[in-house]
Structure 1
Amino acid sequence: MQDATQKQFSASSLGVNDSRFPDTQQIGGEPTIGEIISKANNLSPEQIEQILAYQRENGVRFGEAAVALGLANTDDVMWALAQQFHYPYSSEHDDACSDELVVAKQPFSAQAEAFRTTRSHLIMKLYSGVGQRHALAVVSPRSGDGKTYFAANMAVAFSQLSGRTLLIDANMRNPRLHEVFHLKPGAAGLSSILTGRAVSNVIQPVKGLPNLFVLPVGTVPPNPLELVERPAFGLLIRELLTKFDRVIVDTPAASQGMDGAVIAAKCGAALVMARQDVTHVSDMQTMVATLRMSDIQIVGSVLNGY
C-alpha cells in the first residue's frame, strides 16, 4: 500500500490526494499551493518527492516542508498563498513599488492587519450607507506625520477588495507618491488636469495590484492653493467618484497652508493623522477647528506610532 501511495504522489507530482494536508488539495480546478510553489521555483520531480517525503514524515504542509529543506523561502510560500486565494501581493523582492507599502509587500504582517482593521472601520463609516459618496482626504498638522505612508497603504488595502481604488496625490507642495509607486516623475498628473494641459493618460495602474490606480501630481506648480480652490478640482473629484469605488487623497500638511483643508472640503470626508510624541495637541485642535468650518465628515483620527 505504501508503494502504491508513493507512486500516486509521483504521478501527480504533488500529492493532491493526501487529505491530511489541505494546502495540497485541489479544489474546483484551482492550482494547489504545492503546484504554485513547484512551478515558481522550477522544482524537479526528485525535489518534489523529497518535499513530499518530509511532509509525510513530519506532518507539516507542503510549503513548510519546502522551506525546511531549503527548496523555497517564506516569501515563496506567502506568494503562493496569495495566488491561490486571488489576493494581490507584491513580493518583497519585486521592485515595482517601495518597501513602504507593507500591505502589498508583507500582507500577512501585524502592520498590514492594522491597515485592514482601519479599512473595516472606514467601510462602516463611509461606504455602508446609501447617502452621498465622498472621497477621503488624509490630513495632518505637519510634514512627517505619516500621511503619504498611511494613504498609500490604505489604498492598497482597499484595492485588495473588489472594485477599483484611486489614490490621488494632491500634495502639490511636496509630492511623494510617485516615489512610493516608482512612477515616472514630472509626467502629466493632477496639476496638468487642473491647468487644462492634460485630460487623458494621467491615471496610472499599479503593477501587481490590478484594482489600484494612482493619479500623481505631475509637475509641481507655483500656485498649488489656487489650483485646488478652483471649481475644476471639485468637479474632478465628483467625476472620479463615478468611475472608482474608492478615492483616497494625499494632502499637504496644515503647516504648509490651507491646501489640505480646501482639498478635504471638496472631498467631503477627512481622516486626521497625528504622530506620537511629535504632534502637538494645540496643532490638532487648530486643524480640526479649520476643517469644521466647512461641511466635512471627519471619519476619525489615526495615531502614527513611528
Structure 2
Amino acid sequence: MEPVITEQPKTEEVIDLRQYFNIVNKYKWRVFGLAAFVAVFTAIIAIKMTPIYSATATLIIEAEQAKAVNFQEVYGLDSSRQEYYLTQFEILKSKSIAQKVIERLDLLTHPEFNKPPSVLAGLKSALKESLPFLPQKDTQLLSAEEIAEQKMQALVKDFSEKLSISPVRKTQLVNISFESEDPKLAALVANTLGEVYIEQNMAAKMGITQKAAGWLSDRLSGLRERLDESETKLQKYREKENLIDIEGVVGLTTQELEQTSTQLVQTRNERNKLESIMRVINEYGRDNLERLETIPEITSHKVVQDVKKEVVISERKVSEFAEVYGPKHPKMIAAQAELKTVKANLSLQVRSLVTGIEKEVKTSQANVRALEAELTRIREEYQRVTAKENDYRKLKREVDTNRKIYDTFFSRSKETEVTSDFNAAVARFTDRAYAPVEPVKPKKGLIVALAFIATLGLGVVVAFVIEALNDTVKSSHDIENKLAQRMLGLLPKVAHKKGTNLNIHYFFDKDARQFSEAVRTFRTGFVLSQMDKNSKVIAITSSVPGEGKTTTSTNLAFSLGQMEKVLLIDADMRKPSVCKRFGIPAYHPGLSNVIAGTEKVEDCMFIDEKSGLTIMPCGQLPTNPLELLSSARFEKLLDALKGRFDRIVIDTAPTQAVSDALIISRQADAMIYVVKADSTRMGLVQNGVSRLIAANAKLAGIVLNQVDTKKAGKNGAYQGYYDYYSYGHENENVVEAKKSA
C-alpha cells in the first residue's frame, strides 16, 4: 500500500520575535567569539600596516588675471566660464605635470616608489611560470629608452593614484592633496605640483605672446604696402576727376534737384488750374457775360467785385429815383446812364480777365516746359556726380579699411612688445602644504571596529541561515505545528561514554532524577491522552535507527511497571538490542520462537531482577520477520498476553528501514513515534508518520528524545516541559543539601 501524505493544516504565519531572539541567544557566544577573533586578527594586521600621511596645499585660480595691457584676445580665453575652471582642474591632474614633478623631485630613485614586488605579486608570477597552460605575455626586446619610458609611465600612474585634486565648492580655491608614507615628501609633492602648474601656465602664455608678436610683425609690412597702394589710387582718382569736395558737390546737386522738382510741381498745378478755367470759358462762350460772371475765378477777382459793387449802387439809385421821378426826369435819365456805363465797365473787365487768363495759360505752359528741361539736365548731372562719388567712396573705403586693420595690428604689436616679458600667474598659493603629524590612514581603530561589527552581523546572518537550513525537529512547536501531532513528552540527553549505550537501569539511579521525572511525565502524558481508550498494546517506533526507540520503550515499560504489570517485547527482528542491553543470552528463545511454534510462551519470558520487568526478547533472528509479524499466530499471541499483563510495550523496527512497524501497528492499541531532537530531519518524520496514518495506525503522539536541556533552558524551545523537570530536580537538590547539612 502506498503511503498517503496527509495535508498539514494551513496556519497564518506570524512573525515571532522571540524565535529570532532565541536563535541569536543560541549562537551568541559562537558569533561573539568569531567576531572577537576576526577583530584581533584585523588588529594584528592593522598594526603592521604602514601609516599613510596626507598633505594639502591650496591654490586660488584667478578668474580675471592682471595684465600690463588688455590682450586677452590673443589668448582666445574666456576665464569667466565654468569650463575654464574645470579645464584647470584637469590640467592639475594631467600626466605631463605629474611627470615634471617626478623629474624635479627625482622620485625615480625614491625608496617609496622603488619597492620590491609584493608577496602576492610574486606568488602570482610564480604560479604563471609553473602553469604553462595559462596565457603568457609575449616577451619583446625593448630598448633602454622604451624601458625607461615604461618605468616612468608606471611611476606616473602610481603618482596619480596618490594625488587628489578637489575644488572647494562655490569658490576659486582648489586643494592639492598627496598621500605618502613620508610626511615631508607628501608636503613637498603638494607644493611642487602647485609650483609646476603655475610655471607651466606662465611659460605657455609667454610662448603664445611671443608667437603672436612675431606673427603681427610679419603681417604689418604687408598691411603697410596695401594701405599705401590704396591711398595712391584714391589720390590719382581725385586728380583725374578734379575733385575737391565731392560730398559738397553732390549735396548742391541734390538740393538743386529737389528745388527744381518742387517748382515743376507747383507750375504744373497752376497750369492745370488755368487750363481748367479756360475750358469752362470756352464752354460758356466768350460773349456770354452773364455765365462768365458765375465762374468763381472771375467772380472772385477784386476789380470785378468793385465794379459789381458800383453796379449794385447804380441799380439801387435807379430804383430809388424810379419811385420818386418819372422816366424822363433828368435825374432818372442820369441814373440810368450811370447804370449803363457801370455795366459796360463790368463787361469790359470780364473780357479783360478772360484775355489775361489766356495769357497766363500760355505762360504757365512755357514755364512747365522750361522746368522739365532743367530737371532733365539736373538729373543727368546728378547721375554723373553720384557715379564719381561711388567710385570715390569705394576707393576711400578701401583706404579706411586698410588703415583700420593696420592701426589694429600696429597697436597689438606694440602691446605684445610690452607684455612679452610680463604675465600674471594664473594661480597663487593661499596655503602651502606642511608635513602632517598624524596619518590619515589606516584608521586602525575604525578598521578593527568595522571588522568586529561586520563579522558580528555576518555571524548573525549565518546563524539565521543555519537555522533556516536546519530542518530537523527541534522543539514542541515543530511537532505540534509542522507535524500536527501531539507531543507526549521529552527525554533529556544524558551524558555517557561515546560509543556505548546508556545504562539500561539509569532510570533507577539516584543521580537520574531529572531523567526519571522526564520519563514519568512522558508516561503521564501518554496515560492521560488514552483515558477513554483501552490502550494495552503500545508499539514504539522511529524514523531511522539510533533515535533511542529501544531506550524509550524500556524506560516507558519501567515507569508503567511501577504501577501496573507490564511486558516488554522486542519485535525488532532485524537489529534487536533488548537482549544485549539487559544482558540476556543471545540463544534465549523469544518472540520469533513463539510465533514459529517452536517454544512455549513461558520459556520465552525473562524477568529483570532490578526492575521486576517481564521481557520477551526477539529470539532467534528469522529470515522472514515480516511474514511472522503478519501471521495470525502473532495476533493470537497478543490476545493471550493481554489477559496476563496490564500493558504490553513493543519495541519495533524503524519505519524508514522496513515495514515491520506498519504491520505491528494493526495489532497495537497505540503507536508512539520517537524523534531524536536536533538530528532527525523533518521530511523523514513526516514520511514515517504519513506511512503509519496510511496504515490506519492509532498514533498517540510523538516523544522527543535526547533533548539538550542546557540549551533548552537558554532558548526556551521546550518551555512548559523542561521547566517542570528542572523544578523537580531543583527541589531534590534542595532536599539533598538539607540532608548533607
TM-score by length of 2: 0.27
Question: In the alignment, residue 669 of structure 2 is paired with which amino acid?
Answer: G
* Structure 1 contact 168–249 (Cα < 8 Å) conserved: yes
Task: Specify which of 223, 236, 251 is matched with residue 637 of structure 2.
Answer: 236
Amino acid aligned to 1:141: S
Counterpart in 2 of 1:122? 526
RMSD between aligned alpha carbons? 1.8
Residue pair 1:101, 1:152 contacting (<8 A) in 2 also: no
Match of 1:166 among 554, 567, 579: 567
**Hey, what does 2:650 align to over in structure 1?**
249
Equivalent in the alignment of 1:100: 504
Rg larger in 1 or in 2?
2
2:694 counterpart SS class: coil
Distance 2:643 2:635 in 1: 13
Matched residue, 2:516: 112
Q: How does 1:11-50 map to 2 (within 5 A)?
A: none
Q: Is 1:202 the equivalent of 2:627?
A: no
2:445 alignment partner in structure 1: none
* Partner in structure 2 of residue 189 of structure 1: 590
* Contact 1:165/1:247, CA 8 A, preserved across alignment: yes
Taking the aligned partners of 2:580 and 2:512, their CA distance within structure 1 comes to: 24
Counterpart among 119, 144, 157 of residue 559 in structure 2: 157
Q: Which amino acid aligns with 1:277?
A: D
Q: Deviations over 1:241-300 (max 9, x none)?
A: 111011101011112210011112211310011112221111111111111123322111
Separation of aligned partners in 2, 1:165 and 1:145: 23
In the comparison of the two structures, how many residue pairs are matched?
Answer: 206
CA distance in 2, matches of 1:114, 1:294: 30
| 3-state SS of 1:117 partner | helix
Q: Summarize deviations over 1:4-35 as a string: whole Å, max 9, x none.
A: xxxxxxxxxxxxxxxxxxxxxxxxxxxxxxxx
CA contact (8 A) 1:99 1:105 kept: no
What amino acid does structure 1 have at the position aligned with 2:528?
A: M
The one-letter code of the counterpart of 1:221 is P
- Say if 2:288 is the partner of 1:288: no
- 1:147, 1:250 within 8 Å by CA — same for their partners in 2? yes
DSSP 3-state at the match of 1:136 = strand
Amino acid at match of 1:105: D
2:568 match: secondary structure: strand
Post-superposition offset of 1:100: 3.1
Is structure 2 residue 683 aligned with structure 1 residue 279?
A: no
Q: Distance between the aligned counterparts of 1:203 and 1:106, measured in 2?
A: 28
1:136 corresponds in structure 2 to 538
1:103 is matched by which residue type in structure 2?
F
For residues 277 and 265 of structure 1, the distance between their equivalents in structure 2, rounded to whole angstroms, comes to 30
- 1:30-84 per-position Cα deviation (integer Å, ceiling 9, x unaligned): xxxxxxxxxxxxxxxxxxxxxxxxxxxxxxxxxxxxxxxxxxxxxxxxxxxxxxx
Distance of 1:184 and 1:252 partners within structure 2: 21
- Greater relative contact order, per chain length (Cα 8 Å cut-off, separation 6+): 2
Are the aligned partners of 1:166 and 1:246 in contact in 2 as well (CA < 8 Å)?
Answer: yes
**In the alignment, residue 152 of structure 1 is paired with which amino acid?**
T
Cα deviation per residue 1:205-256 (whole Å; 9 max; x = unaligned)?
110223x200000111111111111111122112211110111010111122
Contact 1:140 1:272 in 2 (8 A): yes
Hey, what does 1:227 align to over in structure 2? 628
Distance change >3 Å, CA 196–CA 256, structure 1 → 2:
same
Structure 1 residues 230 and 107 mapped into 2: Cα distance closer, same or farther (>3 Å)? farther
Where does the alignment leave 5 or more consecutive residues of structure 1 unmatched? 1-97
Where does residue 178 of structure 1 map in the other structure?
A: 579
TM-score w.r.t. length of structure 1 = 0.64
Q: Report the AA paired with residue 201 of structure 1.
A: D
Aligned-pair identity (%): 27
Q: Distance in 1 between matches of 2:552 and 2:647?
A: 15
- Once residues 280 and 226 of structure 1 are traced to their aligned partners in structure 2, the CA distance between those partners, rounded to angstroms, is 30
**Given residue 251 of structure 1, which amino acid in structure 2 is its aligned partner?**
T
| AA aligned opposite 1:120 | T
